Amino acid sequence: MKRRDFMRLSLTAGSVALVPSFNHAATLDLSNINFSSGTYQDNQAQTIIVFLYGGASQLGGNISNIDEIDRHSQNNHKDYFRGVTPTTNGCWQEAGGDEMEKLITDGDMTLYRCCYSQIRENENNKAHGVCVEQNQRGTFDNTGGGVIANIATILHDKGAINSNTLMPFVTMEGESTFYTEGSIPLAGYLKPMGINENFDNPYERTRWTVRRWTYYTRSERDSAPDNYHKPDEEGGFTPAFTQKMDSVAQSHNQAGDIKTAFGRRGGLSDFIKSIETAQVPDLGVDAYPDHTFADKLKAAVKLLDKNPDTKIITLGAGGLGGWDDHNDARDYVTRHEALFRSLRSAMAHLKALNKDGQVNIMVFGEFGRNVNLNSANGWDHGNLQNFFVLGGKNYFTHRGVVGETVVDVTGSLNRLWLKPKSGTYWFEPLSIASTLYKIYGIENPNVLTDGTYPPVNILS
């Protein structure tokens, strides 16, 4: 993120915050919230949310039904893809299945195969925008604040975070509905700080070099030296100029957030640099792969390690590509493999730092896909997705693979679905929001998720 990209960020009381352009929504009644400071303190939870915009196919983590799928699909998966090999637990080996198996075997991940919405099925709702908003708000009526904005409001109200809490929420994806303000406006220090995988520093005052050219007439140019410019001069925020600016700010600003922010800027700049330059332990065969998404995960882990004040970091799958695979879905395989190769590295990183108890990673999107490989060799929108939960061992009990699916062939040819098998464990997507609320000390998350959706059964 270049410096000009930070011009939209608001410097307040030691936090750089995105200022979303969302309208305030339904009322959040803080008097109805039961908060356990003991749970909040005991968990010491920190979360990385990887949201797979576009609706990732669930087949990467579940090809247990592939033979039946291919008996009914317009096109055969085994013929189109370079390999469709099931792992021990029915993951797609070529699409990161080996990485998933290692995470499951090591007790680092639970794979839920039945995040399924009967509500959406009844309403025939499989539209991107609506489903993204519902999952990121934690409500089906598309009102109210985003899940993270609600957590920020509640933790602030209960005294768990305040203006001295440094960067409690961080976005590496820009604005999203997770941060939509509810009826209670967020203070600047509660809004998400925007940063990228390179830790381009919003607090740093940059310096630059000015090249001063001498211009000649045509006749003079013929006799001018080849390198005809005056000596370079240093410009911008030199150390002397920076000191002068800080002095002016302290002498002219009135006491308050702005003056405090100017006073803390230098220290915050150094703090960001210390995170950027932190060395990653030798991860051996689990070393991060070389692509942007892996760099984002690595940066997120480094930030959470160095700054316990940061509670939640959100990032999309930038660097991998989108997941709206209506056609030419072959790249899904390498994209999904890259995702889980990076997640495996992130878990190894957390374990090396002894942070796998505090930090959890949640991977989900707006919905899954149907399983008919259509005439364009892609999948259309579906209503069942995988939910991957990694780490967080202080408060999560990992359960391996949870849930079984069956193929629904009752619809038309291009509407071939996976659905939860009768008797298997499944949950509506709002239960993910309830799980987030619960680990951050909110004892009755149902009041924030339409009244009926409990946390996923991963809590210890």
CATH number reported for the structural domain that contains residue 41 in this entry: 3.40.720
With respect to residue 220, please indicate whether it lies within any of the assigned structural domains.
Answer: no
Q: What's at 247, amino acid-wise?
A: S
Quick one: 227 exposed, middle or buried, by C-beta within 10 A (0-12, 13-18, 19+)?
exposed
Q: How far apart are CA 160 and CA 412, in angstroms?
A: 52
pLDDT at position 317, please? 85
Total tally of structural domains belonging to the chain: 1
- Tokens 């509500």: give the residue: 119
With respect to residue 96, please indicate whether it lies within any of the assigned structural domains.
Answer: yes
Tell me the two tokens of residue 405.
Answer: 């699916």
pLDDT at position 57, please? 98
pLDDT at position 123, please? 93
Left if phi > 0, otherwise alpha if psi is -120 to 50, otherwise beta: which for 22? beta
pLDDT at position 19, please? 32
Q: At what angle do helices 257-276 and 292-306 cross, to 10 degrees?
A: 120
Q: What residue ranges in 206-341 does DSSP mark as E strands?
A: 207-210, 233-236, 312-315
With respect to residue 268, please indicate whether it lies within any of the assigned structural domains.
Answer: yes
For 320-371, the pLDDT digits (tens) are: 989 999 999 999 999 999 999 999 999 999 999 999 999 999 999 999 999 9
Q: How far apart are CA 235 and CA 267, in angstroms?
A: 23
> Could you give the percent of the chain with pLDDT greater than 90?
69
Torsion angle of the four alpha carbons 165, 360, 178, 195, in this order, in degrees rounded to the nearest 10: 60
Structural domain that includes position 66: 3-204+253-405+420-448
Residue ranges of the chain whose pLDDT lies below 70: 1-26, 201-267, 411-413
Pairing of strands 10-12, 169-171: unpaired
With respect to residue 218, please indicate whether it lies within any of the assigned structural domains.
Answer: no
Quick one: 88 exposed, middle or buried, by C-beta within 10 A (0-12, 13-18, 19+)?
exposed
Can you name the residues that pair with 169 across neighbouring β-strands? 312
pLDDT at position 27, please? 74
Question: The whole model's pTM is what?
Answer: 0.85
With respect to residue 432, please indicate whether it lies within any of the assigned structural domains.
Answer: yes
Q: How far apart are CA 207 and CA 209, in angstroms?
A: 7
With respect to residue 214, please indicate whether it lies within any of the assigned structural domains.
Answer: no
Q: How far apart are CA 399 and CA 402, in angstroms?
A: 7
pLDDT at position 406, please? 98
Quick one: how far is CA 91 from the chain centroid? 23
With respect to residue 276, please indicate whether it lies within any of the assigned structural domains.
Answer: yes
Q: H or E segment at 156?
A: helix 147-157
Q: How far apart are CA 310 and CA 149, in angstroms?
A: 14
pLDDT at position 80, please? 98
pLDDT at position 107, please? 98
Can you name the residues that pair with 35 across neighbouring β-strands? 442
With respect to residue 200, please indicate whether it lies within any of the assigned structural domains.
Answer: yes
